[in-house]
Amino acid sequence: MAKHKKCIENYMSALLDNNAPDKHVELLDGIILFAQALSTDENVWLFLNSPLMSSIEKNGFLVNFANKLNADEKVLNLFSLLVKNKRLTLLNELIKNCKDKKDKINSINNVELVSSQEFSEDQQKQLIKKLESMGFSNINISSRVDSSMVFGFKLLTENKVYDLSLNSVFEEFKEKIARN
């Protein structure tokens, strides 16, 4: 996984470093659109991964595909390189990386809420207020219910986990007992 992440970072830095910062979001949107379009059509996917098709045929297809999507030439070149290097399996990670870069450019803080039960709209508003008081801004909350949690919730940010679940209280309690 780390190898793939580094590979994607190399592709992205080569693409973005040679462009003005105001063009970055446009290129990232183009990459996301192109990748999603390629990955949603099974026939396209099979064609581009087929060992029976030549690189010239695959590249010709990508050019036509890019024209239909009005894709930037740099986006086309990125996908031509991915096909040539047989790295289309990285598309989902590429999409995630592009979305993360866009969020960073737009100063959006993504927070994942993992809870034992669904949060109400009021609870989410209170949570956003609390996060704002902690210094977060432009908060984008995604949530999921984890049935293994007994009670409480966890907040997962880019670089920190806030665990306010009963499970974590039990774990702390077990550690204290084990130490004594």
Domains of the chain: 2-105 (1.10.520), 109-179 (no CATH)
> What pLDDT is attached to residue 3?
67
Closest CA to 150 of 127, 130, 175, 173: 173
Sign for the CA dihedral angle at 41, 43, 44, 46 comes to: positive
Q: Tokens for 168?
A: 């974590």
All residue ranges of the chain with pLDDT < 50 are none
> What pLDDT is attached to residue 67?
92
> What pLDDT is attached to residue 33?
92
Q: Which residues contact 91 (CB under 8 A, 6 or more apart)?
A: 35, 38, 39, 82
> What pLDDT is attached to residue 171?
84
Reduced DSSP (H G I as helix, E B as strand, rest coil) percent helix, strand, coil of the chain, to 5: 65, 15, 25
Q: What is the CA radius of gyration of the chain?
A: 21
> What pLDDT is attached to residue 2?
60
> What pLDDT is attached to residue 84?
87
Q: Tokens for 110?
A: 């993504």
| CA torsion angle 167 171 173 174 (round to 10) | 130
Integer Cα distance of 155 and 164 in angstroms: 8
Integer Cα distance of 124 and 99 in angstroms: 23
| Exposure b/e, 95-105, CB count within 10 A at least 16 = b | bebbbebbbee
> What pLDDT is attached to residue 64?
92
